[in-house]
């Protein structure tokens, strides 16, 4: 069931930040949002900046206390 990390397999860490948006909600295949593929560079940059800012907000020390614990995500959206 588990995915072994292959040394020659490209990893997300090959780029500094990967942004995968939306909750997956299909029971038979992995879906990926494609809208940013067709967006301008400026829009993509803005989305990445917003994602980073959201991460920074959630990474504040008071929140990090819970970081490695099981969370109770509110329903997305």
Partner 1 sequence: MRLRGETWGAWIRLEHAPLLLAVDHAGLASLAITPPPPRPGPSAPLEVHVAVTSQCSAGCTGCYLDATPGGHSPEKGEIVRRLEGLADAGVFTVAFGGGEPLVRDDLPDLARAARGLGLLPVMTTSGLGLTARRATELRDFAQINVSYDGVGADYAEVRGIDAARHAERAIEALVAAGVRTGANVVLTRATMPRAADTLERAKALGCVDAQLLRYKPRGRAASLEYLSRRLSADQVRRFPALLRAWSARARPMSLRVDCSMIPWFSTDPSLADAARLTRLGIFGCEAGGHLAALSVDGATAPCSFLPPGDGDLHRAHARAPREPCASCPIFAVCKGGCRAVSAFSGDPWAPDPECPKVVAWRGAAAHGRPEPA
Handedness of CA 58, 63, 69, 72 (dihedral sign): negative
Among 15, 42, 62, 65, binds partner 1 (CB under 8 A): 15
- In the region spanning residues 38 to 77, those forming contacts with partner 1, defined by CB under 8 A, are 38, 44, 51, 54-59, 61, 63-64, 67-77
CA distance 69 to 47: 27
Binding of partner 1 at residue 9 (CB under 8 A)? Answer: yes
CA distance 3 to 13: 16
| Contacting positions for partner 1 (CB under 8 A) | 1-6, 8-38, 44, 51, 54-59, 61, 63-64, 67-77
């Amino acid at each position: 069931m588990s995915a072994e990390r292959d040394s020659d397999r490209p990893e997300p860490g090959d780029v500094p930040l990967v942004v995968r948006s939306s909750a997956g909600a299909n029971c038979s295949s992995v879906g990926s949002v494609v809208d940013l593929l067709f967006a301008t560079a400026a829009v993509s940059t803005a989305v990445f900046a917003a994602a980073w800012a959201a991460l920074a907000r959630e990474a504040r020390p008071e929140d990090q206390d819970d970081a490695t614990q099981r969370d109770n995500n509110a329903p997305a959206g």
